[in-house]
Every structure is written in C-alpha cells, then in structure tokens.
A and B are shown apart, each in its own frame.
Chain A
C-alpha cells in the first residue's frame, strides 16, 4: 500500500535555528514527490516537486532533497513567518492519473 510518513509531528524552533523535516515514503513507482505549505484556514500551497533520487530544489530558506526512500525539507535560519504545516505528498506512476497521497504533515512553530 502506498504510504507517506512525516516526522516529527511538530517542531518548535527559535528564530535562526536551522533544522530538517523528514518524509519517508513507500510507493510502487514514483512519478513525483511534492512539498506543500499550509497555513491555518487555508488550502495547501505548492513549494517543490522532486522527481528522482539525488535531486535538490531551493527556495529562499527552504531546500528539499530526495533519496529512494526519503525526502528532507531543510529550513535554514527560519523566521516566524515560516511557521506553518509542511505537507509531503507522492504521486504513484501506475494510476493512469494524478492521484496524490499526502502525509499527515509537520507543524512548524518558529519563535522570535
């Protein structure tokens, strides 16, 4: 069964304290792995797509990496405005469509 597991469930950081969020996945064939950010009361917002092991993407203080079984979202020198829930998702390549399976998310709190 396709599955996405994110850890930790919640992470509290001081402003400027770098850290990483983990996403481990089990899927028969991977079309793509995605990271989204979700603020309270809003829909998720797309951040990155990764397609193959070894690939990396960066955007401001965020950097996403991918291995064959895991993805990491590295947050460098976070600011309070980075506080949000970060969701990892995978798209299997066998469904013939674009079914996306989400993890439960990591709630990030950044204190000034």
Chain B
C-alpha cells in the first residue's frame, strides 16, 4: 500500500516569491492535514481538509492557503515568501472515521527561503 507522497522534496525560493506544495494521501484516506515543522516551534498545525472542505485552520497568516481536490489530493500555497517560512512542510492523511484519528505522514517538503 503506497504511503503519503509529497512533492517536491526540496526547494529553494527567494523572498517575495510564492510556492505550491503537493500531497497525495494514502488511498481511501479522505482527510489531509498540513503542518509546518521548525527547530524552534516544533510541529505547527496549518489546516485540515476533508472531502474538499477546510474543516480546521491553524494560526497562520492568510499567505498560507490550501485546497483539496475530489480525488483527495491536496496542495498548499505560500505567497510572498518570508525568510521565516523556511521549514519542513509535512502532509498527513487519515481515515478520519470514528476511532481512526491517527495521522500518516509523508516525508515532507523542505523549503528554504533566501
């Protein structure tokens, strides 16, 4: 069974640019969540999507956005990049049914902003 796939794995951008990250969840998983991980802040929740609808959102500025497609694949976008956006961005999928809240993570997209 294929795991969660994130692309690209590594990318370098400059301040002011925008970036789009992609996530393909485990087959059958309808919930996709995004997290930002930095050494100082740990794993910070960005947003969660279920059946193309954003159900929860973390405390990030509006520059961070996402969407989910009908096949459950998800993308997140960061506009007007800042140096502080350098981080590992992790996507996780979940069955999201009763008693099935565990998350299955991809290996992440490492973003460096210069």
Interface centre among A32, A42, A100 (most CB of B within 10 A): A100
- The answer to whether B107 touches A97, judged by C-beta atoms less than 8 angstroms apart, is no
Partner of A99, one of B42, B48, B107, B108: B48
Say yes or no for A16: interface residue by CB 8 A criterion. Answer: no
Q: How many residues of A contact B (CB 8 A)?
A: 26
A80 in the interface, Cβ–Cβ < 8 Å?
no
For residue B43, CB closer than 8 A to chain A, the reply is: yes
A101 with B45, Cβ < 8 A, contacts A43-B108, A45-B105, A96-B55 known? yes
Spot the interface stretch: B12-20, B66-74, B90-98: B90-98
* Complex CA distance for A44 and B102, rounded to whole angstroms: 11
Tell me the interface secondary structure of chain B in the complex: strand
Closest A residue to B104 by beta carbon equals A46
Q: What mask results when residues 60 to 95 of chain B are scored 1 for a CB within 8 Å of chain A, else 0? A: 000000000000000000000000000000101010
A residues neighboring B (CB under 8 Å): 31-32, 34, 36, 41-46, 49, 51, 87, 89, 91, 95-105
The 8 closest A-B pairs by CB, nearest first: A43-B105, A97-B55, A102-B43, A99-B56, A104-B42, A97-B56, A46-B102, A32-B101
* Further 20 A-B residue pairs, CB within 8 A, beyond A43-B4, A43-B92, A44-B103: A32-B101, A34-B101, A34-B103, A43-B105, A45-B105, A46-B104, A49-B99, A49-B102, A87-B43, A89-B43, A97-B55, A98-B33, A98-B96, A99-B45, A99-B55, A100-B33, A100-B92, A100-B103, A102-B43, A105-B42
